[in-house]
Amino acid sequence: MMIRTFTPHDAAECLALFRNTIREINRRDYSPAQINAWASDDISLDAWAKRFEGRIAHVATHAGVIIGFTDMTEEGHLDRLFVAADFQRQGIARQLVLKLIENATEWECDGITTEASITAKPFFETMGFTVIQEQSVPCRGVALTNFKMRLAIG
């Protein structure tokens, strides 16, 4: 596995990985209606790609294929962290988050925040994040439960 900086050419592959991971992994914690809203086929590739602009983003690759990705704002908000279904529990998400912690430290952020899914919450807790609050957020007309979490740095 190799971690490198995201490039705009990675957007389509990351979107496909995002959809597949939600459909394969998150389905154990969310209803079919929630999965269909979250991983909708209606997500615009252009809009998806624009969300990476102005952020630090990394991809994990294996044999030239993207197997994970993450992105974070300069203010320290980790927006997306996804690892391909076939590569779960191999330390990839951990390596991606450690890279973001390194970036946040360089930017002198005092912490990293995220909104973790039910599925991802235990992972973030093992990385030292604490729950600030449980939330219900709208997504294409369906409510999704997630957890606002924070990791203090420094």
Per-residue pLDDT of the chain (154 residues; tens, 9 = 90+): 999 999 999 999 999 999 999 999 999 999 999 999 999 999 999 999 999 999 999 999 999 999 999 999 999 999 999 999 999 999 999 999 999 999 999 989 999 999 999 999 999 999 999 999 999 999 999 999 999 999 999 7
CA–CA distance, 57 with 52 (Å, rounded to integer): 7
Q: Which residue has the tokens 């990791």?
A: 151
Q: Which two tokens stand for residue 115?
A: 């909104």
DSSP state letter for 141: T
| Strand 2-5 versus strand 77-83 pairing type | unpaired
Helix residue spans in 25-140 (DSSP H): 32-38, 45-50, 92-106, 121-126
- The pLDDT score that the predictor gives to residue 154 is 72
Distance of alpha carbon 135 from its chain centroid, rounded?
17
Q: Which two tokens stand for residue 59?
A: 């991809």
Q: Which residue has the tokens 């951990």?
A: 94
Q: Which two tokens stand for residue 69?
A: 């990705």
Rg (CA), the chain: 15
φ and ψ at 29, to 5 degrees?
-115, -10
Give the type of residue at 11. Answer: A
